[in-house]
Amino acid sequence: MTNPTHGTHIFYDGLWRNNAGLVPLLGLCPLLAISTNLINALALALATLAVLVVTCVLVSCTRRWVTAPARLLCYVVIIATAVTLVDQWMAATRYELYRNLGIFVPLIATNCAIFARAELFASRNGPGAALVDALATGLGFGAVLVTLGTLREVIGNGTLLSGADTLFGPAAASWKIEFADGFVLAALPPGAFFSLAALVALRQALGARAATEELESP
Amino acid sequence: MSVNRRTLGMALVLTALAIVGVAIIQTSFDATAARIAANERDAAMYQIREILAAEPYDNRPANDVIVVTHPDLLGGPQARKVYRARAQGEPVAVVMETLAPDGYSGPIALLVGVYADGRLAGVRVTAHRETVGLGDRIELAQSNWVLDFAGERLGPAPHARWAVRRDGGEFDQFTGATVTPRAVVQAVRDALIYFEQHADELFAPANP
């Protein structure tokens, strides 16, 4: 696989071709555990995106001084700092949401997608490219989180946008939509695996079709 | 033994990063600590205010707190906070932290509000790990079951009515989940027994 350096290539790579949640299957812990409703999934996606951007830009800026073999330790320090900042900010400004997300905000530090982008891309490219890559990876991962969250909330709970006020403020409490009773399995861990499997299969199918088109085009 | 220059260099970089990281976090902490502490107090008080909403009081329960323990009746040896509500210095109600240790997936943390005359003001669940869609109906966000406690009294011993219907009592269980509501009903009963035994101490003024 070529190492993309052009801006749009980098973006397309992170968002689709190498989507962290659907291709290398990174960050499965939050992907499966926190995607029970749309708002929580969206909140964690935004937090992960913030950590990704901060980490990748910092790793890229310090790449001349941070070289093998201790670079992973340095990434850990940078990631932990970024996660702590996001954690404190969320506790100060969105406390109820912060409590709902529980341990998964600190666990962003263990998200392998962040490590992977820091090691594979940010440590070898300039800050501008690292920023684009982080944005693309974060948006790609976030898109999978939000899709799963929507699916699992609608099917598993029969609602959508419940808890919107924890993220968007008290006025958003009226955004909640309720359908029929949900099919509980979708909200439980097995449902998470089934839903993610469906998305991965869809990604594979779409990717395979694109690949054959590429091969067949003159 | 010679120290490899490269290793030394890496150690210095790592140390520098750690120092900078801690400095950044400390700054952020100082900027947010007050807000976070206020948020934590508000979150705790929100449910307490809900429980106490029906009767007027003029003190601030958040500032009128004592700490009690009772391993048997309050679900474990840990300290439990008791918030007191008063009107013109007279007792109105207490809100007790307690624990139902025998939930289906672990202990269930509760707030039990009791008026001075022994009536239940209300019960709220503050923490639990019960099954989504089944046991979690003890949460007010999932169903109104917990509101049925308001207005109930302990009644005379042996308190046989303080059980779920399946156990011969008068409280509904949920379809498909008996262990969870049973644990909560028993914990509320025990909290009421504790209140009956210790009402005077519970309303006594805290040491200044």
At CB < 8 Å, which residues of chain A contact B? 36, 62, 65-67, 69-70, 73-74, 77-78, 80-81, 84-85, 88-89, 91-93, 95-96, 99, 182, 184, 187-188
pLDDT of residue A1: 43
CB contact under 8 A, A96 and B13: no
pLDDT of residue B142: 79
Is the overall model pTM greater than 0.80, yes or no? no
Average pLDDT of every residue of chain B:
90
Residue among A161, A160, A163, A149 at smallest CA distance from A191: A149
- Reported as a single tens digit per residue, the pLDDT across B121-158 is 999 998 888 887 788 889 887 788 999 999 999 988 88
CA B203 to each of CA B66, B91, B117: distance values in angstroms, whole numbers, following the listed order: 9, 6, 12
B21 at A interface, C-beta within 8 A: yes
Of the pLDDT bands very low, low, confident and very high (cuts 50, 70, 90), residue B118 is very high
When comparing pLDDT for B208 and A119, which is higher?
A119
CA B112 to each of CA A17, A109, B137: distance values in angstroms, whole numbers, following the listed order: 54, 37, 17
End-to-end CA distance of chain B: 64
Of the pLDDT bands very low, low, confident and very high (cuts 50, 70, 90), residue B181 is very high
pLDDT of residue A195: 92
> Which of A70-74, B41-45, B60-64, B97-101 is the most confident on average?
B97-101
Q: Six-digit token pair at B180?
A: 């969870």
pLDDT of residue B89: 87
Q: Six-digit token pair at B112?
A: 């039990």
Share of chain B above pLDDT 70, in %: 98
Q: Six-digit token pair at A17?
A: 């071709």
Question: How many other CB atoms sit within 10 Å of the CB of residue B196?
Answer: 12
pLDDT of residue B208: 53
Share of chain B above pLDDT 90, in %: 61
All residues of chain A having their beta carbon less than 8 Å from the beta carbon of residue B17 are 62, 66, 74, 77-78
Give the residues of chain A that fall short of pLDDT 70: 1-5, 214, 216-218
